[in-house]
Amino acid sequence: MNHHDWTHGVYAITDAGLLPDDARLIACCEQALRGGLALLQYRDKSTDDAKRWRQARELATLCRDHQVPLIVNDDTELALRLRREGYDNVGLHLGQDDGDLTEARRRLGAEAIIGATCHGRLELAERAARQGASYLAFGRFFVSSTKPSAPPAELSLLGEAAVFGLPRVAIGGIGRDNIQLARRAGAELLACVHAVFGGEDIEARVRTLNRLLAGEAG
């Protein structure tokens, strides 16, 4: 797939509470894409497979139109099914309990973007890098209303993780007040749910985050 550089910038993650139906999900993601995303993640914890397939496929089409990769959270089978349909812009994000990364890499192929949750632990990052991760996600760094139970991590970890030579994602409470802090600590990708989808005028919200990342005042 021809896509923009996905290794730097705003990484938006969907939330079924904030985007409760297909129309809102697609309209809000389109606004976010217009604001300029490096990556978009489809994160839906429901067990409604038909809905998940329908929504993920629509998002894959939308992202392809914007030349942005769509990352499917948790679900290797769903990512694989989309790639087999020809959506080569689809990747996968795996947490520590979401299945085997080596196996996912084998099944999705060398080109697919596969990210791994590493919480606040360098040994998890080392293992994920060895197993073929494309990026390493650390967090949560700040208070997250989306996932208050996520274990906390120190910003200094981001600098230490440079040793793996993979793009570093910061997640957890990232927004306009702290995005520069996380960037300066070493994160190339700044993952946000609430800061992107938790209010009106999503395109403007993403543009503000991008301006802050570019070092301009928000």
Give the binding range for ligand 3NM (CB under 6 A) out of 46-54, 63-71, 100-108, 136-144: 136-144
Measured from the CB of residue 181, what is the shortest distance to Mg ion in angstroms?
25
The residue behind tokens 């073929």 is 132
Binding segment toward Mg ion, per CB under 5 A, in 20-28, 91-99, 136-144, 156-164 = 91-99
**Cα–Cα nearest to 100, from 52, 132, 72, 66:** 132
The answer to whether residues 127 and 114 touch, using CB atoms and an 8 Å cutoff, is no
Asked if residues 135 and 168 have their Cβ atoms less than 8 Å apart, the reply is yes
Residues in binding contact with ligand 3NM, number by CB under 6 A? 16
Compare residues 134 and 210 and give the one whose CB is closer to ligand LCLJCK34: 134
Q: Which of 9, 35, 69, 139 binds ligand 3NM (CB under 6 A)?
A: 139
d(CA 92, CA 62): 17
Residue 59 touches which of ligand LCLJCK34, ligand 3NM, Mg ion, none (Cβ within 5-8 Å per kind): none
Our finding on whether 183 is near ligand 3NM (CB under 6 A) is: no
Q: Is 98 in the site for Mg ion (CB under 5 A)?
A: yes
| Per CB under 5 A, 58 contacts Mg ion | no
Contact 35, 204 (CB under 8 A): yes
Whether residue 144 is annotated as binding a ligand: the answer is: yes
Q: For the chain, report the end-to-end CA distance as a whole number of angstroms.
A: 32
Is-contact 166 135, C-beta < 8 A?
yes
Burial of 129 (0-12, 13-18, 19+ CB in 10 A): buried
> Which of Mg ion, ligand LCLJCK34, ligand 3NM, none interacts with 10 (beta carbon under 5 to 8 A by kind)?
none
- Name the site residues for ligand 3NM (rule: CB under 6 A): 117, 139-140, 144-147, 150, 171-174, 192-195
